[in-house]
Amino acid sequence: MSHNDRASLQASPASVAEGSDATALQVRDLSFGYKGSPVLEGVCLTLKVGEFAVLLGPNGAGKTTLFSLITRLYAHRQGTIRIGEVDLQRQSAVAHVRMGMVFQQPTLDLDLTVKQNLAYFGALHGMAPGLARQRALQQLARLDMQESLNSRVRHLSGGQRRRVEIARSLLHEPRLLLLDEPTVGLDIASRRGLVEHVHRLCHEQGVAVLWATHLIDEVDSNDRVILLHRGRVRAQGSVMDLLAQADAATLSDAYDHFVQGTAS
């Protein structure tokens, strides 16, 4: 890691003054494939600070692959990814500090308590124990989960575990939060509560959110939608923009227009 990387890591991402028009994520001309088979082709998208955007698409559209590239689980060779002003390829360590991630598959240690899981994550990010505990309590309070601090994760419901994962992803105060199908396996009430909470994060904490889902009912009328199908962005804009582009009355009709009407 370079001297500049180390200096950047020492500063909290939240301490960087950013205007409402600041860019949290920029993806340009991103292509990726496995063994010669394309998975993503020419993907372009931009996310502003404090913006909630839904990455909408059917299973197999390339949503998880896109997230794997943004989080550097996979390395990209074609296109660029910037987290804020940081190029992911050139300063991956700095970029990682500026994002939080909730994966599709649960990643909490079931045999540890909520407190222990959060403390371990804080230690991985080099946070002092006292600061990690303070932020853990703040995030859990926002999620109405503070009473579960000493509970073992295996005793929590699916919705509660997801809330803990969101709290964990925000401990280091990232400016970008990625959620990959975060409501899988949750009941309707838990799904609705999770969507509403993450929307509040955008307004209250200025976090930019990219929420990946195949469920149309998780899209709010005020959300920006990025519709991904077969590795390509087929449409993006407000819900009203997509309705106009598809000449459709509902988002479900617009979705069918872009997905079922696409031959390749």
85 vs 49, 175, 178, 231, 257, CA distance in Å? 12, 12, 17, 25, 35
235 SS3 class: strand
Q: Is the pLDDT of residue 21 over 90?
A: no
What are the sequence ranges of the domains in the chain?
21-98+175-264, 105-173
What count of other Cβ atoms lies within 10 Å of the Cβ of residue 100?
25
pLDDT at 2: 42
Nearest Cα to Cα of residue 260 among 240, 243, 241, 246: 246
Instruction: Summarize the confidence of residues 27-38 as an average pLDDT.
Output: 92
The chain-wide mean pLDDT, for the chain, equals: 89
Q: Is the pLDDT of residue 6 over 60?
A: no
**Share above pLDDT 90 across residues of the chain, in percent, rounded to a whole number:** 75
Threshold 0.85, pTM exceeds: yes
For 120-160, what is each residue's pLDDT tens digit?
999 999 999 999 999 999 999 988 898 999 999 999 999 99
Q: Which two tokens stand for residue 105?
A: 């598959």
Of 49 and 5, the one with more pLDDT: 49
Residue 83 to residue 174: CA distance in whole angstroms: 10
pLDDT at 202: 87
What is the b/e burial string over 39-77, where b = at least 16 CB atoms within 10 angstroms of the residue's CB? Answer: bbbebebbbbbbbbbbbbbeeebbbbbbbbbbbbeeebe
Crossing angle of the two packed helices 251-260 and 239-246, in degrees rounded to 10: 60
Question: Cβ neighbours of residue 197 under 8 Å, at least 6 residues apart?
Answer: 142, 143, 163, 166
**Which CATH code of 3.30.70.20, 2.40.30.10, 3.90.550.10, 3.40.50.300 fits the domain covering 21-98+175-264?**
3.40.50.300
Nearest Cα to Cα of residue 222 among 197, 241, 194: 241
**pLDDT band of 264, cuts 50, 70, 90:** very low
Residue 110 to residue 132: CA distance in whole angstroms: 20
What is the b/e burial string over 138-169, where b = at least 16 CB atoms within 10 angstroms of the residue's CB? Answer: ebbebbebeebbeeebeebeebbbbbbbbbbb
For 216-235, what is each residue's pLDDT tens digit?
999 999 999 999 999 999 99
Least confident of 19-28, 163-172, 231-240: 19-28
**pLDDT band of 55, cuts 50, 70, 90:** very high
